[in-house]
Amino acid sequence: MILVIVEFAMPLLAIFAIKQLVETEIPKVEFNKALKYSLIIAGGLALVFSIVPGLFLNFKSPGDQNLINSGWPNELLNSPRWSQPEPHHLLQ
């Protein structure tokens, strides 16, 4: 239920922010400074998450070890999703 509220509120707040940006005159120097800081913060976080992905987020579950013990190929569990071949039965 709370996700529905967030899914509604985020675009609504974005529309209000864009409306305020359009209606008020912001000096170009101040706008460029704020844009630069926001890009540096977002880019820095993206860089940290891409360099050290396992530090903050680990998507392995205890069930993965059960799959390995039952004979599931370990290279499929450890490889990234985009390196997997496309399933042909979904393309038909």
What pLDDT digit, counting tens, does each position of 37-65 carry? 999 999 999 998 888 877 777 777 777 77
**More confident position, 83 or 23:** 23
Instruction: Determine, yes or no, domain membership for 90.
Output: no
Q: Please tell me whether residue 24 adopts helix, strand or coil conformation.
A: coil
**Domain hosting residue 63, numbered range:** 7-79
Once rounded to an integer, what is the mean pLDDT over residues 3-26?
91
Distance CA 60, CA 37 (A): 34
- Quote the pLDDT of residue 84: 52
Q: Is residue 87 part of a domain?
A: no
20 occurs within a structural domain? yes
Label residue 11 by pLDDT band (50, 70, 90).
Answer: very high
- Tell me if 59 sits within 8 A of 53, measured CB to CB: no
More confident residue, 41 or 91: 41
